Chains A and B, each alone.
Chain A
Amino acid sequence: MLRGLWRLTWLEIKIFLREPLGVIGTVGLPVLIYVAIGRLLGPRVGKTAPDVPRFVSVDLPIFSALLIAASAVLSLVAIIAIYREGGILRRLRATPLRPHTILAAHVIVKLVFTAITLGAMVLAGRRYYPLPATVPLASFTVALLFSTLSILSIGFLVASVVPTARFAQPIGTLIFYPMLGLSGLFVPIEALPPLLRAVARVLPLTYAVSLLRGIWNGDSWSGHAGDVVALAVMFFAFMAASARVFRWE
Chain B
Amino acid sequence: MPAGRSRATTTSSTSAGGHVEIVELTKSFGETLAVDGISISIEAGEFFSLLGPSGCGKTTTLRMVAGFEEPTSGAILLDGKDVARLAPNKRNVNTVFQSYALFPFLNVADNVAFGLKYQSLGRSEVSQRVGEALDLVQLAGYERRRPGQLSGGQQQRVALARALVLKPAVLLLDEPLGALDAKLRRALQVELKALQERVGVTFLYVTHDQEEALTMSDRLAVMSTGHIAQLGTPREVYEEPADAYVADFLGVSNLMEATVIRSGTDSSPCQLQIGEFHLEAECGVLSATGAVKLAIRPERVQLKPYDEPGQNRVPGMVERVVFLGSASQVIVRLAPGETLQSLVHNDGELVAFQQGSAVNVLLPPDALRVLPGGGASVAEIREETYGDQPDLAAVASPGAP
Question: Do A and B bind?
Answer: no
